[in-house]
C-alpha cells in the first residue's frame, strides 16, 4: 500500500533522470561554444537552487522574502575567508552554507512565530538589514567598495566547469528538497501550512520543524551566495537587494507551489525569457510584468499545473 | 487513580473569569462529558486541559503528572490528544495522508532517517500507512483513502478528525463537540463510534452541546454555567438536578433531554 502509487514514483524518478541528463549533457553539448549562454544557464541553475530553499519555507506556510540576505551572508563568508585568510573555496562553500544556516536559525527562531503578511514584512526588511550590516562592516567588509579579487578555484575557471558545478549543486538541492517534500517530513510541513494548531495537537513540534525548514532554506541561499561570489569575483552590500529576494519568491509562484520542480522551472523560464527579451531593451520590464500578471491571473497554481496533477490526488476520481 | 484530574482550575481573560475554580476527575475507561450553555467556559476548560491555554491558577494532572503549562505537543506525546470543533482536518491532503500525520508522534525513526529513506524509516512508514488504512476502515472511511479531505462530505470529515487523533494512540481523547450540527441518524452513528473508541481502551472526555446524545453516552457529566461548576453526577442525577434545570430554563425541553 503506497500513497504515492509506484507508477507515479517511477515517473518522478524518470523525470529526475531526464532533468539530470539535460542539465549535465544536453546543455553543455549545445552551449559549449557559447560562453555567454553558459553563464546564463549557470545563473539560472544557482537562482533555481536559492528558490528551492524558499519553496521549502513556502511548504510550511511562510512567505519568505529574505533569501537575498542569506545569499549575501554566504557571499561575504566566502569572500572574507578566501581573500583574508586564503582558505580554499571547497572549504569556504560548506562554511558559507553553515554560517547562513546558523544565521537563519538564530533569526528564524523569533520571527517564525509570525504568520502571513507579518512574517513576510519582517523577512523583506531582513534583506535590507543584511545589506546595511555589510555596508557598515568596517575593515572586514570594506563598506560600499565591497570585496574584490575573490579568487576563483582553477578547476572552475572555465565557464563550462562553473556551469557544471552549478548544475550538480542544483541536482543535489533538488534531490534533497524532493525527499523533504515526499517523505513524512513533507506531510508534516504541509500539515503545518494547513493548520498549525491541529499539527501541535497531534504532537508535532511545529516550532522545531519550521526552524528546520528555514535553516535548510538559508543554507541553500548561502551556497548560492558563495557560488556567485567566485563567479563575479566580487561582492558588495548591494549585490543582493530586496528585488532579488522578491525574485527568488516569484520563481516559486510562477512554477507552482505544489511542485518541487516549480521553482526550478520558474527560475529557468524567467532567467532565459529575460535574456531573450533583452533585444527589446526598453520594453523588457514591461513585458516581464505583463507576463507575470498574466500567469498569476490565468494559472494561479503555477505554470506546472498545466501539465501536472496536484500532488496527493493521483488516485482520486 | 484518576487518569486525568483538573484541580481548582481558574482561567481569566482580563476582567472576565471564563473558568472559575473548576475541578474534575476522570477514571480510566470512562466517557466523561462537560456540558453547559453557550459561554459556560467549556471550550476554555478544554483548551486549558489540552495545553492551548495556561490556567491562571490551579493544575491539570495526567496520570499523576502535572501537565498544565506544558506545550500542546508535549501533552499530546504523553497520550492526551484533542480533536477540534467542526471539521478540522488537513483539507488539502488525502484521508490517508491525514492519518499518517497522526502517527507522526509515535515515530521512532529520526528526521534524518526519514529524509534519506533509510530502511528502518521506510518500514515504519509502510506500517503507518497500514494502520492508517485500518483505522480509516474501522471508522467507515475505507473507500475514500485517497480522496482529498476537502472533497469529503461533512460527516466523513468528523470521522476523519477522530481518525487523526486515534492514530496518535492516545490514552485520553478529548473530543470537542463531536455531535454538533449532526442529524439524529448521524448522531447515532457518532455515538456508536465514540463507544467503539472507549471499547478500544481509550478514555474519552468530551465537551458537548447535544444533550440527548450526552445522556445516552456519558458515564459521568459535569455541568458548567458562567464558568462555575454547578453539578456533577451520572446522567440520571444530572437530569433531575434543580440547578441544571435552572441553568437551562428557557431553552427548549429537547435541548436538555428531559
Residue A300 is predicted with a pLDDT of 77
Dihedral angle sign, alpha carbons of residues A93, A98, A103, A108: positive
pLDDT beyond 50 at A3: no
Packing angle of the helix pair A159-182, A6-21 (nearest 10 deg): 170
HSE on the CB side for B248, CA within 13 Å? 24
Per-residue confidence band for A100, with pLDDT thresholds at 50, 70 and 90: very high
Candidates B81, B114, B168; nearest CB to A184: B114
> Is there a contact between B94 and B145 (Cβ–Cβ < 8 Å)?
yes
Pair (B67, B98) in one structural domain:
no
CA distance B148 to B151: 6
Residue B106 is predicted with a pLDDT of 82
**The residue count for chain B:** 258
**CB distance from B45 to chain A under 8 Å?**
no
- Between A78 and B37, residue with greater pLDDT: A78
The count of domains in chain B is 2
Hey, is A253 helix, strand or coil?
A: helix
Residue A316 is predicted with a pLDDT of 38
HSE on the CB side for A61, CA within 13 Å? 21
The H or E element that residue A299 is part of is: none
Last residue of a domain, one of B149, B169, B189: B169
Pair (B156, B102) in one structural domain:
yes
Question: Under an 8 A CB cutoff, do A179 and B117 touch?
Answer: yes
Per-residue confidence band for B10, with pLDDT thresholds at 50, 70 and 90: very high
Question: Under an 8 A CB cutoff, do B81 and A185 touch?
Answer: no
Per-residue confidence band for A317, with pLDDT thresholds at 50, 70 and 90: very low
pLDDT digit string, tens, across residues A179-199: 998 888 888 999 999 988 899
Instruction: Report the largest interatomic distance among the alpha carbons of chain B, rounded to a whole angstrom.
Output: 63
Q: What is the ipTM of this complex?
A: 0.80
The H or E element that residue A50 is part of is: helix A35-59
pLDDT beyond 60 at B231: yes
Candidates A183, A204, A313; nearest CB to B115: A183
**CB distance from B170 to chain A under 8 Å?**
no
**CB distance from A172 to chain B under 8 Å?**
no
Pair (B202, B227) in one structural domain:
yes
Pair (B72, B135) in one structural domain:
no
Pair (B101, B48) in one structural domain:
no
State the residue range of the domain holding B143. 87-169
pLDDT beyond 80 at A247: yes
Size of interface A-B (CB pairs under 8 A): 114
Last residue of a domain, one of B134, B169, B204: B169
Q: If you search the block for the grid coordinates 539535460, which residue do you land on?
A: A22
CA distance B244 to B238: 7
Pair (B219, B208) in one structural domain:
yes
> Is there a contact between A152 and A230 (Cβ–Cβ < 8 Å)?
yes
Q: For residue A257, give the C-alpha cell.
A: 507551489
pLDDT beyond 60 at A165: yes
CA distance B168 to B152: 22
Mean per-residue pLDDT, B90-113: 88
> Is there a contact between B219 and B32 (Cβ–Cβ < 8 Å)?
yes
Hey, is A1 helix, strand or coil?
A: coil
Residue A315 is predicted with a pLDDT of 40
Residue B145: give its domain's CATH number: 3.40.50.300
pLDDT beyond 80 at B173: yes
Mean per-residue pLDDT, B206-224: 89
Enumerate the residues of chain B whose CB falls inside 8 A of the CB of residue A205: 73
pTM of the model: 0.85
CA distance B125 to B143: 21
> Is there a contact between B33 and B222 (Cβ–Cβ < 8 Å)?
yes
Pair (B70, B20) in one structural domain:
yes
Residue of A nearest to B71 (CA): A200
Enumerate the residues of chain B whose CB falls inside 8 A of the CB of residue A197: 52, 72, 84, 88
pLDDT beyond 80 at A92: yes
HSE on the CB side for B60, CA within 13 Å? 25
- Rounded to the nearest integer, the mean pLDDT of chain A is 89
pLDDT digit string, tens, across residues A36-68: 999 999 999 999 999 999 999 999 999 999 999
Mean per-residue pLDDT, B202-229: 90
Last residue of a domain, one of B140, B169, B198: B169
Question: Under an 8 A CB cutoff, do A316 and B105 touch?
Answer: no
Amino acid at each position: 500500500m503506497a500513497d504515492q502509487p509506484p507508477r507515479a514514483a517511477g515517473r518522478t524518478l524518470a523525470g529526475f533522470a531526464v532533468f539530470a541528463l539535460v542539465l549535465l549533457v544536453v546543455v553543455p553539448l549545445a552551449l559549449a561554444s557559447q560562453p555567454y549562454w553558459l553563464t546564463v544557464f549557470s545563473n539560472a541553475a544557482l537562482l533555481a537552487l536559492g528558490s528551492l530553499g524558499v519553496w521549502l519555507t513556502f511548504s510550511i506556510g511562510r512567505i519568505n522574502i529574505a533569501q537575498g540576505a542569506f545569499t549575501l551572508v554566504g557571499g561575504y563568508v566566502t569572500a572574507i575567508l578566501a581573500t583574508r585568510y586564503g582558505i580554499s573555496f571547497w572549504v569556504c562553500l560548506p562554511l558559507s552554507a553553515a554560517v547562513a544556516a546558523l544565521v537563519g536559525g538564530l533569526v528564524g527562531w523569533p520571527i517564525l512565530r509570525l504568520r502571513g503578511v507579518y512574517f513576510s514584512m519582517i523577512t523583506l526588511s531582513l534583506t535590507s538589514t543584511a545589506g546595511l550590516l555589510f555596508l557598515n562592516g568596517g575593515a572586514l567588509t570594506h563598506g560600499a567598495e565591497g570585496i574584490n579579487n575573490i579568487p576563483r578555484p582553477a578547476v572552475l575557471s572555465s565557464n563550462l566547469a562553473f556551469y557544471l558545478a552549478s548544475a550538480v549543486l542544483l541536482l543535489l538541492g533538488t534531490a534533497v528538497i524532493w525527499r523533504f517534500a515526499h517523505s513524512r517530513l513533507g506531510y508534516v510541513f504541509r500539515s503545518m501550512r494547513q493548520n498549525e494548531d491541529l499539527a501541535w495537537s497531534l504532537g508535532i513540534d511545529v516550532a522545531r520543524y519550521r526552524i528546520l525548514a528555514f535553516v535548510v532554506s538559508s543554507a541553500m541561499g548561502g551556497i548560492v551566495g558563495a557560488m556567485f561570489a567566485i563567479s563575479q569575483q566580487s561582492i558588495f552590500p548591494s549585490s543582493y537587494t530586496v528585488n532579488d529576494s522578491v525574485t527568488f519568491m516569484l520563481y516559486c509562484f510562477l512554477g507552482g507551489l505544489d511542485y518541487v520542480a516549480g521553482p526550478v522551472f520558474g527560475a529557468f523560464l524567467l532567467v532565459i525569457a529575460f535574456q531573450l527579451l533583452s533585444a527589446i531593451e526598453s520594453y523588457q520590464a514591461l513585458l516581464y510584468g505583463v507576463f507575470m500578471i498574466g500567469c498569476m491571473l490565468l494559472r494561479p497554481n503555477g505554470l506546472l499545473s498545466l501539465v501536472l496533477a496536484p500532488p496527493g490526488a493521483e488516485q482520486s476520481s | 487513580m484518576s487518569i486525568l484530574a483538573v484541580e481548582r482550575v481558574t482561567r481569566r481573560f482580563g476582567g472576565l473569569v471564563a473558568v472559575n475554580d473548576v475541578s474534575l476527575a476522570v477514571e480510566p475507561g470512562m466517557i466523561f462529558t462537560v456540558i453547559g450553555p453557550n459561554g459556560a467556559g467549556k471550550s476554555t476548560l478544554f483548551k486549558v486541559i489540552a495545553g492551548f491555554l495556561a490556567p491562571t491558577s490551579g493544575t491539570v494532572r495526567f496520570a499523576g503528572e502535572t501537565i498544565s503549562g506544558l506545550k500542546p505537543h508535549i501533552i499530546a506525546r504523553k497520550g492526551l490528544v484533542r480533536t477540534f470543533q467542526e471539521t478540522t482536518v488537513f483539507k488539502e491532503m488525502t484521508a490517508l495522508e491525514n492519518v499518517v500525520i497522526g502517527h507522526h508522534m509515535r515515530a521512532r525513526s529520526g528526521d534524518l532517517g526519514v529524509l534519506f529513506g533509510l530502511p528502518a524509516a521506510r518500514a515504519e512508514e509502510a506500517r503507518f500507512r497500514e494502520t492508517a488504512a485500518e483505522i480509516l476502515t474501522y471508522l467507515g472511511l475505507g473507500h475514500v483513502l485517497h480522496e482529498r479531505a476537502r472533497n469529503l462530505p461533512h460527516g466523513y470529515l468528523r470521522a476523519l478528525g477522530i481518525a487523526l487523533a486515534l492514530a496518535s494512540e492516545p490514552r485520553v481523547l478529548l473530543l470537542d463537540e463531536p455531535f454538533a450540527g449532526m442529524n439524529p441518524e448521524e448522531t447515532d452513528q457518532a455515538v456508536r463510534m465514540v463507544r467503539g473508541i472507549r471499547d478500544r481502551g481509550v478514555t474519552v472526555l468530551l465537551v458537548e452541546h447535544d444533550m440527548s446524545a450526552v445522556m445516552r453516552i456519558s458515564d459521568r457529566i459535569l455541568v458548567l454555567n458562567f464558568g462555575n461548576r454547578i453539578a456533577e453526577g451520572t446522567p440520571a442525577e444530572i437530569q433531575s438536578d434543580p440547578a441544571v434545570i435552572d441553568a437551562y430554563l428557557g431553552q427548549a425541553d429537547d435541548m436538555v433531554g428531559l
